[in-house]
Amino acid sequence: MRAPLVIGNWKMHGTLVEARALAAGIRDGLKRPRGVQVAVCPPFTALAAVSEILAGTPIQLGAQTCHHEAAGAHTGEISPPMLAELGCRWVLVGHSERRKEIGESDELINRKLRAVLANGMTPVLCVGETSDERRQGLTFTTVEGQLRAGLAGLGADEIAKTILAYEPVWAIGTGVNATPQQAQDAHAFVRKRVGQLCGEAAAKALVIQYGGSVKADNAATLLGQPDVDGALVGGASLKADDFLAIVRAGIR
């Protein structure tokens, strides 16, 4: 059985004081999560502080992105070994905000994904269509293209170590979530396509998160879909109680 994974993506929110308080609130409200994996991705500046607060708890640490090289003349960047040193276990790659705002290409995302794996962490590859693409009936074409490019050159064993996150761009931060059926259809598609790359057995074990306006009041139906294995949560992960309610909805 797949262990669902709920990740809080704090984006560019949280001074140290705020990040510490949020991490402590999540820690205190979640003593022994069973049947669900939980992680938070604070801003880089708060990783060390949050790591201290979560030490010894089952709540894991993740990062929102990274550079694809281990070191070098890349002003302002953070490398995978730096994240691993801080105790990060997960790294988001290909988030639509970075694709759009920073112009991250599929090719760059693929390099980052490989670098995360090479440094012993787990990449969370985000894919999803824009509202225009959905309107034009291109949802699956877009998602398939991002999957193929993002996972290009990876062996079946490496793909099996990767987490997928289906995040329709039109649902991120808009308050308009995908319907449970839309999410299920996309997740089943992702599982099938990735299965062609890594084999059916590995595809069955693959964790595919849904992301896009997941809230405490819609989490149970979204996360109750057979191919939806937890959530990548933005806005609602910034309040401990809301995030904890989503985590509980993810338990299988």
Looking at the Cβ atoms of 10 and 189, the one nearer to ligand PEP is 10
Is 211 near ligand PEP (CB under 6 A)?
yes
Is 218 near ligand PEP (CB under 6 A)?
no
Shortest Å, Cβ 142 to ligand PEP:
17
Residue 71, Cβ neighbours under 10 Å: how many?
A: 11
Looking at the Cβ atoms of 37 and 213, the one nearer to ligand PEP is 213
What are residue 91's DSSP bridge partners?
A: 63, 123
Give the footprint of ligand PEP on residues 166-205 (CB under 6 A): 167, 172-173
Beta strands in the chain (DSSP E): 5-9, 37-41, 60-63, 88-93, 122-127, 163-166, 208-211, 230-233
Q: Identify which of 80, 84, 91, 33 has the alpha carbon closest to the alpha carbon of residue 59.
A: 33
Is 235 near ligand PEP (CB under 6 A)?
yes
Shortest Å, Cβ 88 to ligand PEP:
17
Is 243 within 8 Å of 8 (Cβ atoms)? yes
Among 5, 113, 169, 232, binds ligand PEP (CB under 6 A): 232
Give the footprint of ligand PEP on residues 6-45 (CB under 6 A): 9
Please state whether 165 falls in left (phi above 0), alpha (psi between -120 and 50) or beta: beta
Among 23, 91, 233, 240, binds ligand PEP (CB under 6 A): 233
Please spell the DSSP secondary structure of 3-32, one letter per residue.
--EEEEE-TT---HHHHHHHHHHHHHH-SS
Q: Residue 183 has what DSSP assignment? A: H
Q: What's the gap between Cα 62 and its chain centre?
A: 9
Among 182, 209, 213, 225, binds ligand PEP (CB under 6 A): 213
Looking at the Cβ atoms of 159 and 236, the one nearer to ligand PEP is 236
In whole angstroms, give the CA distance from residue 20 to residue 220. 28
Active site includes 74?
no
Which one of 95, 104, 133, 187 is the catalytic residue?
95
Looking at the Cβ atoms of 126 and 194, the one nearer to ligand PEP is 126
Looking at the Cβ atoms of 198 and 245, the one nearer to ligand PEP is 245
Residue 125, Cβ neighbours under 10 Å: how many?
A: 24
Active site includes 95?
yes
Binding residues (CB under 6 A) for ligand PEP: these are 9, 167, 172-173, 211-214, 232-236
Residues recognised as catalytic: 95, 167
